[in-house]
Amino acid sequence: MKNKIHKDSKVELSPVIAKHYDTIMNSITFGKYNRFIYQAVQDMDIQTDDQILDLGCGTGKNAMLMSGYLGEKGGITGMDVSPVMGKLFMEKHGKDSRFEFKQERIDIPFKLEKKYDTVLISFVIHGLPHEHRKNLIQNAYNHLKPGGKLMILDYAEFDMAEMPSHHRFIFKSVECRYAFDFIEKDWKSILSEYGFSDFQEKKYMKNYTRLLSATKKA
Ligand SMILES: C[S@@+](CC[C@H](N)C(=O)[O-])C[C@H]1O[C@@H](n2cnc3c(N)ncnc32)[C@H](O)[C@@H]1O
């Protein structure tokens, strides 16, 4: 793909892959992806009035699932660098005034007027160089209300050497080099350096993925 921000990243998707992202994910996981995302969103414990910032929101599928837990006063801001994802997000949610989309990079500093109860980062942060992950975490922190929650839905921490060989083969084939150091890091300790605490986690997909929740100090 031309004009990538980070040349080795695999979370920047080509327009064709972006357009069919949800179907591709469900096919390569033999139909397990839908159930996994549904469960993870349920585990986010979304409250009816929550304002949610979805960083690297993709097609708007996660936003659609999250909106099922929101009432009239809730809202979701999706942010993504891809115009294709923006179009898909707006096709799903454009008629609902509780949703908005911003086409922007999430891995460099940005400033929104609003503060949020929850910031979701789903399957983006593993695909960024570590210096840019730090910007992303700082962006999330800056846009949370005191007591607000950062939810990182992504790979869990695990040792590639201990994976069964067929799992290791798939992971190494589909993932970029940034993902290999993402799984080795102690994310609770990294997030605590930014002022997050009260970590909770739920694991899925044979413990290779997790929803990590961290609270900004009140
Ligand atoms: C693997 S997809 C995940 C999409 C969605 N969060 C989900 O879980 O279905 C990664 C998304 O991050 C977006 N993305 C990648 N790098 C980005 C960046 N630097 N700034 C903003 N969005 C980015 C891509 O356009 C893509 O929509």
For 103-119, the pLDDT digits (tens) are 999 999 999 999 999 99
Whole-angstrom Cα distance, residue 67 to residue 204?
22
Global pTM reads 0.97
* DSSP-assigned states of every residue in 154-178: EE----GGGS-HHHHHHHHHHS-HH
Whole-number Å distance, alpha carbon 163 to ligand 1 midpoint, is 26
Question: Which residue puts its alpha carbon closest to atom 26 of ligand 1?
Answer: 58
Ligand 1: which atom is nearest the Cα of residue 85?
27
Whose tokens are 């950062």? That residue is 150
Domain ranges (residues) in the chain: 15-216
DSSP 1: -
**Mutation pick for ligand 1 pocket among 124, 154, 205, 209 (CB with most ligand atoms within 8 Å):** 124
Structure tokens at 57: 């929101």
The share of the chain scoring above pLDDT 90, in percent, equals 94
pLDDT value of residue 3: 83
pLDDT value of residue 75: 98
The helix (H) or strand (E) run that includes residue 91 is helix 83-93
Q: Over 80: is that where the pLDDT of 1 sits?
A: no
Q: What is the mean pLDDT of residues 117-126?
A: 98
Question: Which residue puts its alpha carbon closest to atom 9 of ligand 1?
Answer: 58
Q: Over 80: is that where the pLDDT of 2 sits?
A: no
- Name the average pLDDT for the chain: 96
Ligand 1: which atom is nearest the Cα of residue 25?
9
Residues 6+ away with beta carbon under 8 Å from 66: 41, 44, 46, 52, 54, 76, 120
**Mutation pick for ligand 1 pocket among 1, 12, 128 (CB with most ligand atoms within 8 Å):** 12
pLDDT tens column, 156-185: 999 999 999 999 999 999 999 999 999 999
Whole-number Å distance, alpha carbon 102 to ligand 1 midpoint, is 13
Give the domain 15-216 fold.
Answer: Rossmann fold (3.40.50)
> In 3-state terms, what secondary structure has residue 74?
coil
Q: What stretches of 56-195 adopt beta strand conformation (E)?
A: 75-80, 99-103, 116-122, 144-155
Give me the sign of the Cα torsion angle 51, 139, 204, 173.
Answer: positive
Torsion angle of the four alpha carbons 172, 173, 174, 177, in this order, in degrees rounded to the nearest 10: 50
Q: Over 90: is that where the pLDDT of 29 sits?
A: no
Q: What is the mean pLDDT of residues 61-77?
A: 98
- What pairs with residue 204 in β-bridges? 209
Ligand 1: list residues with CB < 6 Å. Answer: 5, 11-13, 56-58, 61-62, 80-82, 85, 105-107, 122-124
Whole-angstrom Cα distance, residue 106 to residue 128?
10
pLDDT value of residue 28: 86
Q: What is the mean pLDDT of residues 59-65?
A: 97
Whole-number Å distance, alpha carbon 125 to ligand 1 midpoint, is 9
Give the closest residue to 62 by CA, choosing from 154, 137, 130, 146: 154
Contact in structure between 52 and 64 (CB atoms under 8 Å): no
